[in-house]
Structure 1
Amino acid sequence: MAGEHSAPLSPVTIGPVAAVGAGRMGRGIAIAFAAIGVPVTLVDAKPRAAEALDTLRTAAMAEIEADLAFLVVLGLIDRAGAEGALERIAFAGRDAAAEALSGASIVFEGVPETLEAKREGFAFICAHAAPDCIIASTTSTIDPEDLVGMVEGPGRFLNAHWLNPAYLMPLVELAPSSVTDPDVVARLKAVLSAAGKVPIVCRNAPGYIVPRIQALAMNEAARIVEEGIASAEDVDLAVRTGFGLRFAVLGLLEFIDCGGGDILFHASNYLSEKVDAQRFAAPEIVSRNMAEERRGLRDGAGFYDYAGVNAQAYRAGRLGDFAALLRLRGLVPPFVHGTLPA
C-alpha cells in the first residue's frame, strides 16, 4: 500500500552541526545530534556582555544536562551515553562562533521569529559558514521564499521545522524554497533519517502540515469549551483517550480511507448545516473521491491505493498497533480471562 515506510537508507556520515540560537529549539537540536555521537556547537549570535553570556551559557548547559539526565531516568539512554552527549556539546558566543560555523556541515538557524532577527542571523551565519554547508531555518511560521534572499548561496537553504522537544519528537518538516538544490533536500533528509528522525517534504506554504492541522484542532477544542459543550478537562480526556489514540496509529487520511470517505462527506454536510458552513465544509477532494467511488479501503482506492492489499491482514495489523498503544497507556478494557468449557 502507498504510504508505507521506504527501504532503509545506506549509512550516512554526519559532520559537525551548529545550532544558532541558544533557546529551547537550539538546545533540543543539540541533544538530538550529540546523543547519536555527532559534535554540536550551540551558538549564541546575539551581542552580549561577558557576564550575560556566561549566565546564558550556564543556563543552557544546565538545561541540556537535566534533559539528558531525564532521558536516563526514562531508560532511553544510559548514563555513559548521556555523559558522552554532554561532552559533545560546545557553547559559543558571537565572538567565538567563527570556528564552529566554518567547520559545520549543517547550520540550523533558530533565532527569534522576526524578519529582522532572521536577516541578522543569516548574515552572521553566511559570514562564517563554508560554501557547501547546508543552512536550515527552524521557523514554524515564515515562508522560505521570504528568507532565501537573506542567504548567500540560496541553493543550500531550506526550512526544517522541528517539533518540541526536538530530541524526542521524530518528525521534521522540510520546506525547500523555489531555488533550493534538490541534492540539498536529499542530503538533509538522509542526515535526519540517520539521526533517527522522520523527515517529510512539503511545499513552501504557511503552516507546513502539523501547525495547520493542530491550529484547527486546538481552536475547535477551545470553541467547544467556549460554547459550554464540555469542560476543558473532558475535552482533553476525549483527545487523550479517543482522538489522539486513533490518529497515532492511522494518521488522518488513512483513517478516512479505513472508515470510508463517505462518512466524512456526510458528517461534513451535517455539521456545515447545523454548526458552521465555512468551518465544516468538506474540501473538493473529498467530494471528488465520493463521485469517483474512491471512498477508501473497501473501494480499493481513496487517498491511498489499496490495489493488492489484503484488507483483513491490513486491519489486523492496524488493530495490533492500536492494542499495543492501549497497553502502553494502561487503557486495555478489563476483559474477562478464563478457560473455555470442555
Structure 2
Amino acid sequence: MTDEIAVVGAGRMGEGIALACLAAGMPVVLADVKERTDEERRAYCDRVRERLAEQLRAKLGDDAALAGLTVCGRETARLADAAVVFEAVPEVIEVKREVLAWVCTQVGESAVIASTTSTFLVTEIAELVDRPGRVVNAHWLNPADLMPLVEVSRSEDTDPDAVSRLTGLLERIGKVPVVCGASAGYIVPRLQALVMNEAARMVEEGVASAADIDLAVRAGLGPRFAVLGPLEFIDWGGGDILYYASRYLAAQLGERFQHPDVIEQNMSAHRRGLQDGTGFYRYDADGVAAYRAARMREFEEIFRLREPELRDGTPVPTRPED
C-alpha cells in the first residue's frame, strides 16, 4: 500500500478533493461510478481532466501534478494501493450502500474509508462496510480545494488509528482537520444553521434589512470569529456577560437563547475566562498580556485588509421584492 488516495465519486466534491491532493503532490485515483456508456465515460473523464488541469495551472502555474491523476470508471478503477478512500457519491443511502459495498471488495484491509457525507452519521455509514472500525466521516467544506477545514467525525467504535491516519494525511496536504463525535451537523453546519436561521428571522421580523444584517456580519461578527473562536470569545469577554445576556434575550425572544448548563456551571465555579484565569481554556497569568496583544494584532491585520472593502462597499444582489 502506498500514499495513493482514491476518491470515489467524480462530481464537484470529488473533483475538489482530487485537486487539493494533486496540488499537494499526492497521487490520486478519481473513480466516476455513475452509470454511463463507454463513450459517455471517456468524454466525462476527459472533461474532468481538462477542468483539473485548468485549475492546477491557475493554482500552481502549471499542470505537472496532473501526471499523478488517474480518472477512470468503476470497471477499471484500481483501489488496492489506496491508503485512504474518500467516498463522495450523492447523499442517497441506497447509493452509498451499493458503492461502499463495491469499495470494500476493492481496497486493502488496512485502507481507511472516509465518507464525505454531510447528512449521515458515521455510525450509519459504518453499517454499510465490512470492517466498521476503519470508517470515518470526512466533511470537507466547499470549495474543497480552497477551504482549509475538514471535519473528521468518529464514533466510539472507530479505530483510533484510522482517525490519526486520516488527520495526518489531511495535514500533509495542507488541510486543518478537527475531530468531533457522531452528532448531526458536525461543528460548522450546526453553528452556521443557527446563525443563518436567526438572520432570516430578523428579516422576517423587520428588525433590519438583508443588506444591513450581512454587512453587520462581514464587518463585525465575521472578523471577530476569524480571530477568536466562539468559546475563546466567551472567555475573552467573560462568561458572566454571556450568562446575563442569554437570560435577557431568552426572556425577550424565546428559549432558543437560553444558555446551556455549562455556562451556569462555569459561573458558579468562577471559571469565567480571562478574569478568573480559567474558563473553556486555562490562562497563565504571566502570559495574558502577550496573548491579548497577539490577538489584537490579528484584529488589526484583518481590518487593515478589509477596511477599503467595507468602507467603499461591494455590490450586493437586489432582493426580488425590492
CA contact (8 A) 1:144 1:159 kept: yes
Alignment-derived partner of residue 192 in structure 1: 170
What is the rounded CA distance, in whole Å, between the counterparts of 2:99 and 2:274 in structure 1? 48
Distance 1:236 1:176 in 2: 34
CA distance 1:228–1:103, shift in 2 (3 Å): same
Q: Distance in 2 between matches of 1:119 and 1:214?
A: 29
Q: Which amino acid aligns with 2:71?
A: F
Decide which moves more: 53-62 or 305-314.
Answer: 53-62
1:264-291 residue CA offsets vs partner (Å, 9 max, x unmatched): 1111111111111x21101111111111
Corresponding residue number in structure 2 for 1:324: 301
User: Matched residues in 2 for 1:269 and 1:203: separation?
Assistant: 29
Q: 1:142 corresponds to which residue?
A: 120
Distance 1:133 1:309, change over 3 A: farther
1:87 has 2:67 as partner: yes
For these two proteins, the number of residue pairs brought into alignment is 311
2:177 is paired with a residue whose SS is strand
Confirm or deny: 8 A CA contact 1:257 1:296 kept in the other structure: yes
SS at match of 1:43: strand
1:240 and 1:280 map into 2 onto residues whose CA distance is 22
**Which blocks of at least 5 consecutive residues in structure 1 are unaligned?**
1-12, 72-76, 335-342
Q: What is the one-letter code of the residue matched to 2:94?
A: E
Task: Give the conservation status (yes or no) of the 8 Å contact 1:14–1:38.
Answer: no
Shift of the alpha carbon at 1:309? 4.8
- The question of whether the paired residues in 1 share the 8 Å contact of 2:153 and 2:179 is answered with yes
For 1:240, the equivalent position in structure 2 comes to 218
> Are the counterparts in 1 of residues 17 and 144 from structure 2 also a CA contact under 8 Å?
yes
- Displacement of 1:58 in angstroms is 3.6
1:296 equivalent to 2:276? Answer no
* Matched residue type, 1:296: G
Counterpart-to-counterpart distance in 2, 1:32 and 1:219: 31
Report the more deviating stretch, 45-54 or 223-232. Answer: 45-54
Q: Residue type of the partner of 1:134?
A: V
Does 2:144 correspond to 1:166? yes
In structure 1, the residue matched to 2:283 is 306
In the alignment, what sits opposite 1:96?
Answer: 76
- 1:141: Cα distance to partner? 1.9
Aligned residue for 2:275, secondary structure, equals helix
Query: Which of 259, 268, 271 is matched with 2:246 structurally?
Result: 268
Correspondence 1:63 to 2:51: yes
Structure 2: distance between partners of 1:300 and 1:330: 33
> 1:338 maps to what in 2?
none
Please tell me the residue identity of whatever aligns with 1:268.
S
User: Structure 1 length as normaliser, TM-score?
Assistant: 0.86
Q: In the aligned structure 2, how far is the partner of 1:255 from the partner of 1:177?
A: 28
Which residue type is aligned with residue 57 of structure 1? Answer: C
**Quick one: distance in 1 between partners of 2:211 and 2:65?**
38
- 2:198 aligned residue: 220
Task: Identify the residue that residue 279 of structure 1 maps to in structure 2.
Answer: 256
Aligned-residue offset at 1:14: 6.9
Q: Which residue matches 1:340?
A: none
1:20 is matched with 8
Contact residue 219 and residue 310 of structure 2 kept, 8 A: no
Mapped partners of 1:52, 1:266: distance in 2? 62
Name the counterpart of 1:175: 153
CA distance in 2 between partners of 1:31 and 1:323 (Å): 33
How far apart, CA to CA, are the structure 1 residues paired with 2:232 and 2:43?
A: 48
Q: Describe the superposition over 1:22-68 as per-residue Cα deviations: whole angstroms up to 9, x where unpaired.
A: 11111111011111111111111122112332343244333323433
1:211 aligns with 189
Distance change in 2, residues 1:14/1:283 (3 Å): farther
Range moving further from structure 2, 49-58 or 88-97: 49-58
User: How much has 1:329 moved relative to structure 2?
Assistant: 2.1
2:42 to 30, 48, 54: 54
Query: In the alignment, is the contact (CA less than 8 A) between 1:105 and 1:133 conserved in 2?
Result: yes
Structure 2 unaligned regions, length at least 5? 312-322
- 8 A contact 1:18–1:42 mirrored in 2: yes
TM-superposed CA distance for 1:86, in Å, is 2.5
Give the secondary structure class of the aligned counterpart of 1:124.
helix
8 Å CA contact 1:256, 1:264 repeated in 2: yes
Whether 1:118 aligns to 2:121 is no
Q: TM-score, normalised by structure 2?
A: 0.91
Question: In 2, distance between residues paired with 1:178 and 1:331?
Answer: 48
